[in-house]
Amino acid sequence: MSVKHYREIIALAAPIAGIQFAQVALTSTDLLMMGLLGLEAVAAGGLAMLLYNQLRTMCVGMVTSVGNMVAAAVGRGEKRTGSTAIDDVAIEEVKDLLRAAMLLATVAALVAGAVLVLFGRFLGSLGQAQAVVDLANPIMLALAPGLLPMIWLNVLRQFAVGMRRAGSLLTVTILSIAVNALLNAAFIYGWLGMPKLGLVGIGLSTTLVQIWTFAVYLRTVKRDDKLNGLLALDAWNAKWATVLRIAKMGTPISLTYGSEAAITSIATVLMGTFGPVALAASNIVNQLAYIVYQLNIGLSHGSSILVSRTLGKGDVEEIGSVAARTFTISFGVMALIGMAYILVPEVVLRPFLAQNPDPDVVSLAAVLLWFAIAHQFLKGSQNICIGLLRGLGNTKAGLTNTLIGYWGVGIPCMFACSYLLGWEGYGVWFGLCLGFGVTSLLLWWHFLNALRGTSAKIQSVAM
């Protein structure tokens, strides 16, 4: 395998991973700014952001397959022309996909926004303090409209990635972090003539930043001659058959993303039952693992797009090579990060403990870093497998196998190991890693079977 082949994966993965890193930074900025408003604001705002992110992730899942569909259409077009150019059939297919995706995105965002607002009305019945409920409802209302530009942006991103022209969304997103922080402060303190809105201002600034980011990226896409010629945003002209096809592939992805978020939330709640030290240590280590995980998300999307394009060309043998290169990159980086966890844990943990260097938290977090190494390998590999399967057109395997791995193995083991065996926080992380490990093995097995099946199918057609 040449360096060129690795660069091809990295070129597609890097912009997506960078965007993911920037999104983590954006959320972290909101949480830091909430801290300026007091403990109740952090509790209410953090809860609102958690629910918002859960719905945001599921909305993104609904349109994630669009990139694969675009790449496959382009691959078929290139095969028909015998060059890197695509024919009129492929052009119309890409436009059709984009129209349908925009319509589906709009419907999904409106439904998710309504769910977010309605859910806020039931927080009191879920045992939340009335003060928290009173603060959470307004910010959830302010966050809800931001789901529309956010998912529209993701449709454009999938379109551009499918065309292998991701553009400079990373730069835009990094700039949005600074804009978000400025707007947060302006709404909190009434700077620049803005009204003093407090916590709800943080939600409003997030929505405004989402609108701004979408507008800037849309402008970038329109300036790209190749992309602009295929841009079709007239969602009202979408074909319902195409909308349903995208939804059929997107629904399992959406539910898979939701399930993945749920197992982590359950683990966090369980850690909290063992006291604030356990919860604080777990949150720090989980945040580290989450940051690193963004790299594997980028690799998953990048390899998925390459598989779809390769499949469109009918070159099945290359798909296995794409998978091998992707895992080599992922495992190589994970190994280096794991070495840092083992050799210099205090350096890794220091940024999160500057304000609270509690020796008990430091000690427990240093041990949990060992679990984080396994967590990063296992969770990362399962996400890459989901991407590879999506490239082959299989999105159901991700859902069925995560349900088995998470809910059939991981969560029961978390309870059994932490309570029945008395391992407490270590048991929670052991069960979490076991759930990701089983899921990864199942998905890898499904990918190999799907690859063999695809190869046999193409050979039979060729005969």
Q: Which one is predicted more confidently, 244 or 132?
A: 244
pLDDT tens across 408-453, in order? 999 999 999 999 998 988 999 999 999 999 999 999 998 888 888 7
Of 71-75, 82-86, 351-355, the range with the lowest mean pLDDT is 351-355
pLDDT tens across 281-318, in order? 787 788 788 888 888 888 887 888 788 777 777 666 77
pLDDT of residue 127 exceeding 60: no
| Calpha distance 162→90 (Å, rounded) | 13
Is the CB of residue 109 less than 8 Å from the CB of residue 150? yes
Question: What's the residue count for the chain?
Answer: 463
Q: What is the torsion angle, in degrees rounded to the nearest 10, for the CA atoms of residue 432, residue 284, residue 361 and residue 33?
A: -140
Q: Which amino acid is at 382?
A: Q
Q: Which pLDDT does position 98 carry in this prediction?
A: 92
Q: Fill in the DSSP letter of residue 198.
A: T
Q: How confident is the model at residue 111 (pLDDT cuts 50, 70, 90)?
A: very high
Q: What mean pLDDT comes out for the span 158-172?
A: 73
Q: How confident is the model at residue 191 (pLDDT cuts 50, 70, 90)?
A: confident
* Residue found under tokens 């890409």: 94
| Calpha distance 349→144 (Å, rounded) | 34
Max CA distance (Å), the chain? 72
| Calpha distance 164→35 (Å, rounded) | 40
Q: Which pLDDT does position 457 carry in this prediction?
A: 65
